[in-house]
Chains A and B, each alone.
Chain A
């Protein structure tokens, strides 16, 4: 989409935690890269700026990663949540520029809400994030998906950059975006972006089932249908300000984000009388946040240290309209949810003599939910406090770090109270034998997730719930090798063991709308993933050829160990494939670029009772994206020529008919074309 030179720099900066944050000139960028390269451990998986831009959407970019399942209900407006290492999506923290997107009601973050365009990199941390400076909350999440933006980089003399883009094609998609990047002062720059998306969301799909009969023959059905009521309208606005402090020893950032959408919920595909219309249910969302970060490198008592302060306020409004299916003229039942989240974090990292360093962080958060419907209303709230102390010891090729996080929670709803304390320790070791091409790392930690408001207050027994507990242990090895001046090979192997205890499970009672929530679930999982990446040439070199190929494979065995007496005993938990993998790559020649991605997911089960009738077929999808950027004649002053970019995205090339969630078919082959102009 945009020039590759700043792209790769930004990518490098932002793959790593925002160490020194905002950068407004290339000199500073270089410094940060140098710093960042020393940071260990590396994320479990990551996607650079260029890789991000070629993905159809954020969910598609994430699902290439090792050990990740994206639960996708299909279509433009279908809910997309991310689940790492079969722990459940509640255990995956989604962080935007280092601050968690928190959803107290059900702890699911819809990746579909975020626009790929407003981020410059993605990083997934399966274990503990690295970095001296982290908010306390980050230590608690079992895995973390970081969406990062970076400050715009300008060429000398440039003050303002405008870009606009229109994407159109399948599902009646029309998505215009405009963005403005400007140097607002000597030390401040901003990016403003606004976009819309409308789509009718209809797509054809096939439902097929073949049965093996007793006489050895096969019989079945294969029926074609059209997914309806999947229309969506989205408006997004995003404003970021990046600044550096006067003495260049620090930076700040302020971001405002707003999302407004209205969509149809197509519902599951079930057998229906032909007279019954499709679902008419609707959902409207309004989400917004304002968040800021300030950080500074300084000396206190002669010790160099970095201090970071972060704060956020978020409001999320959801309206769900349940239309009576069998009463076309009937009024819908309306369910409204409004939640507020206020969050503040203070973190300080001190560099001590002899390789020692100490990080201290404290966070506070307040969440409030106002749920109203004609049949019930409740207003739960929760105060959370997090405090962490994390010492580390670094030698040239070796580092050891530990952390101890204390979390306290107080909450209340309709006379029910919750009070909880959790201690979660972690220990990690990194070693690069003799500073060679091999790096080894290992960690053990305890992560947890609090029960959601849904678990606690919309059930019968929630208040006695304990947090879900995940004990993780992992070992990873990385290897990098130069294969001549133009090629590099990177390999990474990671294996982990997770014991999930006190898993929150809903048990039905006689009351049709009341579930008893119990900490009875137990999952033992073992995962091994391998990643091999070959990088060729230099993407920044506009005359030559450059490219990369990444192959990923994950083996995941996640067994339900809850109860010997149940048919689920030792069964693979729902939706987790034993084998999955992806092969993605790009090739760049002059101003033309091709990206291809093949993702394969092995067979899964929709029930932990792994009987054949709950088997979900394996599938393979392939996406291809072709793009070219063409310079426009320079306008007067040198170096200010614009650029026109065209991109053709061909998704699901093989027209694979599959579903991630049974009853929610995914679209087959579809193509999108986008054209952008930037000057």
Chain B
């Protein structure tokens, strides 16, 4: 009896679902209002700040939030709200977030997908299957996604790959094998540079693969820095954020001169910089770093600002308003105002916080984000 009833109910629901799906795909749902966290500022240097919350691995918790400057509203899970009929939402383990024109690209490592959404409405445009995707970058016609290519921690060594996606068709058009566990990648001077981290091996890797784009083949492999996660292109320079080996080699920043194919000499200031994430604003590189005590029971959080022109570094402890941040996890800097956006992952199981500080470290606003707010992207229409 109950069974029949529940079957009837599910039949009704199922009958209604295709209609809902169709509707969701043809017309975008309006973005929800969200909550006001700051005063609206129509003159801001950007319209939207997208926040990718990574979520815990295997929990399908990746969420894309956004902050609108026009009315100062913060919209949690804006992608999910825009695409309510997309089964299982954004997906599992967000690992990178980039803007290309008017589209947002979110890399979902656990789902094996690169999600493309409209930056204005956050409407789902495409989900491109890429095995083990890590990070994404663009040139005029293509997107490039680095991939671990099935490597697993503790397993046999497997070389990674880079996939090329055509921006028009949003389909994978080519792939090329690179080194172990490739991470950050960037196009500089018409060539694609991919940092191979070797993160799953004890020794780690320190190579950068250079891919020429016409035939999409590896042209040469350069010596880079150890266990690189992110790269940033600035002119002909490629900045590498090296995570070190978690043992005797500390983290740090390195600069690869793409003209010569060699690392530049590090200035005394640069040598002092430690990092657990990196961002570039204007001519300054910003990094976050937590210094743990000897028995790993307490830590102090630091912000490093490195001036790429003068070669000097400043080290600021999180003090004043910034001392409220527990676990600085990711950082974005508005180059126009110097405002700092800090993703606070707390214990990485609780929903994290997004803090906005002005250039002097004074709190402007904060919002509750999702689990592990780890990637930011500014968008101006």
Contact = CB atoms under 8 A, between A and B. Distances in A.
Interface string A504-540: 0111111111101010000000000000000000000
A34 interface: no
Contact of B350 (A224, A374, A461, A567): A567
Contact of A221 (B21, B32, B324): B21
A332 B152 CA distance: 8
Interface string A262-295: 0000011111111110000000000000000000
Interface string A323-338: 1111100111111000
A568 interface: yes
Given A272-B111, A516-B292, A622-B2, A507 B347 contact: yes
A607 B149 CA distance: 32
A565 B77 CA distance: 23
Nearest to A221: B87
A213 B84 contact: yes
A155 to B, nearest CB: 42
Contacts of B153: 322, 333, 375, 513
Nearest to A650: B3
B59 A271 contact: no
B132 interface: yes
A273 B112 contact: yes
Contacts of A514: 246, 296
Interface in B123-161: 127, 129-132, 147-156, 158
A210 B81 CA distance: 10
A270 B324 CA distance: 34
B17 A222 contact: yes
Interface string B276-313: 10000000000001101001110100000000000000
B72 interface: no
Interface in B61-82: 63, 76-77, 80-81
B88 interface: yes
Nearest to A511: B246
B246 A270 contact: no
B350 A271 contact: no
B345 interface: yes
A508 B151 contact: no
A566 B59 CA distance: 21
- Tell me whether chain B's interface is mostly helix, strand or loop, or mixed: loop
A213 B32 contact: yes
B350 A568 contact: yes
A354 B7 CA distance: 66
A271 B91 contact: yes
Contact of B112 (A208, A326, A509, A611): A326
Contact of A268 (B14, B60, B81, B353): B60
Given A276-B131, A325-B150, 10 more contacts: A206-B10, A211-B80, A271-B91, A324-B155, A325-B112, A461-B296, A518-B297, A609-B351, A611-B368, A663-B59
27 contacts: A207-B88, A211-B84, A215-B30, A221-B17, A223-B87, A270-B110, A271-B90, A272-B111, A272-B113, A276-B111, A276-B112, A326-B149, A331-B156, A332-B155, A333-B152, A375-B153, A460-B292, A460-B296, A461-B295, A507-B347, A516-B296, A567-B368, A568-B350, A607-B351, A614-B351, A663-B60, A669-B3
Enumerate the 7 nearest inter-chain pairs by beta-carbon distance, A residue then B residue, closest first.
A327-B150, A273-B129, A333-B154, A326-B131, A461-B296, A271-B91, A270-B92
Interface of B: 2-3, 6-7, 10, 13-14, 17, 20-21, 23-24, 29-30, 32-33, 58-60, 63, 76-77, 80-81, 84-92, 108, 110-113, 127, 129-132, 147-156, 158, 199, 202, 243, 246, 251, 276, 289-290, 292, 295-297, 299, 324, 326-327, 345-351, 353, 368, 370-371
